[in-house]
Every structure is written in C-alpha cells, then in structure tokens.
Structure 1
Amino acid sequence: MKSIEQLEMFMTEPSYALIEDFKKLDGDLLVIGAGGKMGPTLSKMAKRAFDEIGSSQRVIGVSRFSNHVLKEELEQYGIETISCDLLDDEALQNLPDVKNVMYMAGNKFGTTGNEHFTWAMNAYIPGRVAEKYKNSRIVAFSTGNVYPLTDVSKNGCDELHPVNPVGEYAQSCLGRERVLTHFSHKNNTEMLIFRLNYAIDLRYGVLLEIANQVFHDQPVDLTMGNVNVIWQGDANEYALRSLLHTESPAKILNVTGPETLSTRWIAEQFAARFGKTVSFISEESNRALLNNASESHKLFGYPRVSVKEMIDLIADWVSDGGYTLNKPTHFQEREGAF
C-alpha cells in the first residue's frame, strides 16, 4: 500500500454483510463529526454501500470543515456536506431531518485547561442533538475510557462492568452517554452507544506510534503495558451496521479487536520487521484500560483485518515514509489528563 488513495480504497470497501444490512436500512444518513479522524472514511464507506445496492439514499457530512480541502473531497465523492458549528443552536436546528444519525462529534485533546469546552461538546451538545433527532435512530460514538483500569488477566471490561472514568475527558464522555440515555428514555429514541477502543489507521493510532518509536530508535514506554486495537475500516463497518441494532433505552456496545495485546510484544514485532533492537522505559503494570468487545463480535463477526496484517501494513508505511496525521493518542495516559 503506497498511497493515501490506495489506503482509503481499502479502508472504505463495504463488506458483503454491510451491503446486505444497508438493503434493510431506510432513510438518509447524517454523519455529525464527518471532519474528524474517522468521519471521512466512515462517510465514504456508507456512500459506497448505498451505491453498491443502487440506492439514492444520501450521505450528509456535518462538521465545522475548517479543512476546505476535505469538504471538497467528500463532495467529489458524492457526499453532501454542511458546515456547522454545533454550539450555534440555530445552525444545529437548521440541519436536515433524517432517519439515521451517526454522532461522532466530541473533544478530547486539549481538555486540560479547557475543560468547559470539552464538557460543552461532549455532554451538552449531545442532548441538543438528541432533542433535534428524537424521531431518528442514533449511533453515538463513545470510548472505553469510561471504564476503570482493570487487571490484565480479567479479559477487559464488558458492557455490564461498572463505569468509573478517570479524568475530565472520560467523565465528560460518560456525561454524553448519560444525557443521550436520558433522551432515549424521554422520547423513546432508538440509540446505540458505541464504546470504541483505539481505531487503527496507517496515518495515526497506537500501532503507528509504537512503530515510529522503534523505527527511529526511541525507547518504547511501557506505562500502559497492554492495549486493544481495531482496524479503522472494521470499526467504521461495525458503526454503520449498528444502525440496525439501536434500542430504547439506549444499547451499550463495546468495540475493539478480540486480543489483549502486550505493548512490549507490539514493539518487538516492529523491531523484527525493521531489523532493529528495541529498548523500553518504565515497567508494565498488571492493570490497563481494556475493553471486552465479544458482544460486538457476536453481532458482526471478528474484524476482517488482523493484528498481524495491521503490523505488516504499518511497518511498510513507516519504512516508505508514508504520510501521518501527527495526532498522538496518548494511550499511555493512566491519570486521564488529555
């Protein structure tokens, strides 16, 4: 895989299962937060799935679109775009009414020192969106950060595990979930809350960060000794297929890969591919932020792209000097300070 175009064609290819699900999906799709890290490829995958079944259903991307190049790119792909500041209530209320809403907007990095904005984006705006789209089905992105750190031998937190978010970002994400669930109860709105842990792209993500450290002979931090990851294309597909699994009250669904991965093992895998010797700092803890996504695997099957495939793809991308977004995940953070 040598170019962004090749990457996105691979990442946005709809599976047979997604195409079959989209045959059952009525109404247009509004993607709120279409300008984020995952929004563009999710929107493109949805458009390809609708095109594959010969449907005229629309995909409409909503974002501030400070990147005008992205806005034009999505429009050339056949995706309608709307520039909107969600904190402008008049602009929010003027968004089109649709049957299906993918809610991906939020704020994470830069929370420390700007907590008020993070809470507004992550806990206030979702309520306004839920009221606006009370007659729609809504899939809302959340995070496994709402769970506490758990013993790595316990196979991660499933959907029934008590939440205990660490830090204001994670607390605001739980606020988003609680507000959305309130409106799901109040208005009988069908929702699914999509608790995602670490989507992987060749341009950003946990694996890329570790790969770059190994490639550039930097020590790998073992502060968070174990992680979960999932290929972004698989995460996008799970999200789109979740539109057929919304419920009232809101359904909770964990989403990540099936493995609990050792950070040390990941680094050693990249070292072997690069012909490098890897060094480490810090020591692994027996507790980590881990997500048990077996329920999503029961619904949608295992991810199509395996961990070894992701490592191979990223190793080649890094070796070839592939473009990156330079947006660290800060996955090593144990105190919730983002």
Structure 2
Amino acid sequence: MTATDTLPTAIRDEDHLEDLMSTPSAALVETLAGLDGDITILGVGGKMGPTLARMAKRAAPDKRIIGVARFSESGLRDKLENWGIETKACDLLDAAAVDGLEKTANAVFMAGHKFGASGNPAFTWAMNVHVPAIVAQAFKDSRIAAFSTACVYPFVSVTGQGALEPIALEPPGEYANSCVGRERMFQHFSQRHGTRTSIIRLSYAIDMRYGVLHDVATAVRDGRSIPLGNGHCNVIWQGDANDIALRTLARAESPPFLINLSGPELVSVRALAHAFGERLGRTPVLEGEEQSTAWLVNTGLQNRLYGYPSVALSTLIDWTAAWIGAGGRSLAKPTHFEVRDGTY
C-alpha cells in the first residue's frame, strides 16, 4: 500500500492503524532518496516516534534508521527492531552518552516533556532546553529536523487564520516557555555551527488511541462534560504529520527553517462533539462558552510546500467514531486541549 491508495472506511485494529500511520507518500520516497546518509531518531519512544521511524524505513529501505530512547516501555525495542530499525538505549540528559552516539547525516529530534510539567518544572526545562542544547552540539554536522509545538505561540483570534511562523513567541505558562527555549537552543547552535535545521511546530497529531478527536469522542460516548473555553484547534492525521516532518529534512537550513504542521481547518470543539454525538447515538454534554482566542496555527506555508493532508478531517472523525464506538484501545494520555493557562 502507498499513501495515495484508497483510504479505508474504518481502521480494523492497532496493526492496521500503525500500518496506515507509517505508509510513506511517493513524495517522501523521492525526498529521502535525494538525501545522503542514514537517519537517527532521538526520542523515538514517544507517541509519534515508532511510526515515524517505521515510515522512514519503508520510504528508504536502504538507509539505516536508528531509534534512540531510554526504552522504558516494554516491548517497544523489539517492535522497532522487527520493523528493521536499529535501536540504541541512551539517556539524552547524559551529554557524554549523546556525544558517544553515532553521528548520522540526518537526525530527527522528538524528545520533550509536557504532562506533569507543572509538578516538576526543573525537569521540564532540563528536557526541553538542556537536552536540545546537548543534541544540537553533538549533532552539529548533521541535518536536523526538530519537533516543536504550536504552544510556543500566543493565543490568537478564532476569527483569523492562525499564527504565522514569523510572529513573536509570547506564550502563556512555564511549559510553553520551555518550548520556546528548545527552539532557541537549536537556533543558537545552528547559527554557531552552520547546522542545517528545520523546526516543526506541530499542532495535535491524531491517532485513534489519543488526540483531541479521541478525547472529545470518548467524552461523548461516556456522557462526560466537554469544556468549550478553549473551543477551537487544528488537527492533522499522524501519518501526514510523520510524512511532512521527514520531508522537512530536505529544507533544513541555517538559520533554521520554521514551519507550522497541522490541518488547515479551524476545528470547532462544539461541532466535533455534535458530530460524534450523531455517529455514536449520544447527546453531548457541553460546558461553558468558547473564548475569542485559542492556540491556532496558519498552515499556509505547509500547504504551499506539501499540499493538503492526505486524510481529511471528515475521514478522521469517521475513523475515530468507529474506533471509539467499537471500544478500541486508548493510550489513556489526554491532550488537555481545554487548558488555557499553560499549566500541564
């Protein structure tokens, strides 16, 4: 299967889900064929890392794909290796250990700390600022694609088109400001060493097992109230997010190339709740009223360079409703999309 094949009407199980999320586009195959060298994925153990690594391997089977993490999750290392991905256990806070890693021509940085950040701010800053500084220095001669977040932006009007990449970064809360620090480290060492870097400001990748759609659909199914204060967002299918993120390696430059990564639609949480209510035969319980601002991104640059995402919002809603209605597994990792003060 390729990413351009006909999409299914529903996702059967987790194997089917992970296969879909790791299916590369023809454009990604072409992009990676044009890049020299192998790819190291730092922080491969997160929610997106495994399928991104698998997609890279499927798109470029002749390249070595090396996944680096602490591998605290049981079975993950075996799964990656069964997919043809080499693994290396490493604590990214250990500068000597990171310096000892093989320095491939390409690196994808995916490490970070969000949930629980308010309870341990020192660790949050260590993971989101100190680790990027360690990696940016150790991989200074590599081409780097570094994941960031839309949380680096201030809230913007829901009547506009979202935050554009050049605007000033003035976000609320300590977690979001540590994410600005992450970007600043990659920018600083890119300028100092000439490291070709792309910084990817991701907003809500969607997997059936977690994400804003999962959270809203689950609340509708279970009859729980859905807060509307932070009532708008952007979302994107995780397979599209993986694909585009890997393709940004070819646009890495110094100073870094900045790009928002998400779906182009302004997604209404209220409308989502009603859409899931119709599909699941439930009446959504809505709480509060929408505020006039939200964390929203303008994906104009992404759309010009990479086109419209291959999986439309309507398809994601259908898939999620079917998954939740059938009792599909949850990772039990809520997004906390409703948070407005930056406290996680």
Code of the aligned partner of 1:11: M
Please state how far the C-alpha of 1:199 moved relative to its aligned partner: 0.5
Residue matched to 2:77: 71
Residue matched to 1:323: 329
Kindly indicate whether the alpha-carbon contact (under 8 Å) linking 2:199 and 2:259 is maintained by their aligned counterparts in 1: yes
The reply on whether 1:194 has 2:234 as its aligned counterpart is: no
The reply on whether 1:260 has 2:266 as its aligned counterpart is: yes
Residue matched to 1:62: 68
Please state how far the C-alpha of 1:10 moved relative to its aligned partner: 1.1
Residue matched to 2:41: 31
Code of the aligned partner of 1:230: I
Please state how far the C-alpha of 1:97 moved relative to its aligned partner: 1.1
Residue matched to 1:47: 57
The reply on whether 1:291 has 2:297 as its aligned counterpart is: yes
The reply on whether 1:185 has 2:191 as its aligned counterpart is: yes
Please state how far the C-alpha of 1:125 moved relative to its aligned partner: 1.1
Please state how far the C-alpha of 1:109 moved relative to its aligned partner: 0.6
Kindly indicate whether the alpha-carbon contact (under 8 Å) linking 1:32 and 1:62 is maintained by their aligned counterparts in 2: yes
Please state how far the C-alpha of 1:178 moved relative to its aligned partner: 0.8
Residue matched to 1:226: 232
Code of the aligned partner of 1:309: T
Q: In structure 2, which of residues 269, 277, 291 is the aligned counterpart of residue 271 of structure 1?
A: 277
Residue matched to 2:4: none
**Equivalent-residue separation in structure 2 for 1:287 and 1:108 (angstroms):** 22
Kindly indicate whether the alpha-carbon contact (under 8 Å) linking 1:2 and 1:322 is maintained by their aligned counterparts in 2: no
What do residues 245-279 of structure 1 show as CA deviations (whole Å, max 9, x unaligned)? 10101111111101001110011110111121112
Distance change >3 Å, CA 94–CA 68, structure 1 → 2? farther
**Equivalent-residue separation in structure 2 for 1:131 and 1:11 (angstroms):** 31
**Equivalent-residue separation in structure 1 for 2:29 and 2:257 (angstroms):** 23
Please state how far the C-alpha of 1:50 moved relative to its aligned partner: 1.0
**Equivalent-residue separation in structure 2 for 1:236 and 1:26 (angstroms):** 19
* Unmatched tracts of structure 2, length 5 or more: 1-10
The reply on whether 1:11 has 2:21 as its aligned counterpart is: yes
What do residues 191-215 of structure 1 show as CA deviations (whole Å, max 9, x unaligned)? 0110000000001000000000111
Q: In structure 1, which of residues 237, 241, 248 is the aligned counterpart of residue 243 of structure 2?
A: 237
Q: Which moved more, 1:82-91 or 1:193-202?
A: 82-91
Code of the aligned partner of 1:277: T
Residue matched to 1:163: 169
Number of equivalenced pairs: 334
Kindly indicate whether the alpha-carbon contact (under 8 Å) linking 2:37 and 2:104 is maintained by their aligned counterparts in 1: yes
Residue matched to 1:139: 145
Code of the aligned partner of 1:27: G
Code of the aligned partner of 1:299: L
**Equivalent-residue separation in structure 2 for 1:93 and 1:136 (angstroms):** 13
What do residues 229-251 of structure 1 show as CA deviations (whole Å, max 9, x unaligned)? 00000000010000001010111
What do residues 295-323 of structure 1 show as CA deviations (whole Å, max 9, x unaligned)? 01111111100101001101110111111
Secondary structure of the 2:75 match is helix
Code of the aligned partner of 1:18: L
Kindly indicate whether the alpha-carbon contact (under 8 Å) linking 2:155 and 2:171 is maintained by their aligned counterparts in 1: no
Please state how far the C-alpha of 1:70 moved relative to its aligned partner: 0.5
**Equivalent-residue separation in structure 2 for 1:275 and 1:145 (angstroms):** 34
Q: C-alpha root-mean-square deviation of aligned residues, in Å?
A: 0.8
Deviating above 6 A after TM superposition, structure 1's stretches of 4 or more consecutive aligned residues are none
Kindly indicate whether the alpha-carbon contact (under 8 Å) linking 1:227 and 1:290 is maintained by their aligned counterparts in 2: yes
Residue matched to 1:106: 112
Normalising by the residue count of structure 1, what TM-score does the alignment of the two structures yield?
0.98
Residue matched to 2:179: 173
Kindly indicate whether the alpha-carbon contact (under 8 Å) linking 2:93 and 2:130 is maintained by their aligned counterparts in 1: no
**Equivalent-residue separation in structure 2 for 1:118 and 1:95 (angstroms):** 23
Please state how far the C-alpha of 1:293 moved relative to its aligned partner: 1.3
The reply on whether 1:210 has 2:220 as its aligned counterpart is: no
Secondary structure of the 1:27 match is coil
Secondary structure of the 2:311 match is coil
**Equivalent-residue separation in structure 2 for 1:259 and 1:160 (angstroms):** 20
Code of the aligned partner of 1:212: T
Code of the aligned partner of 1:284: E
Please state how far the C-alpha of 1:98 moved relative to its aligned partner: 0.5
Residue matched to 1:247: 253
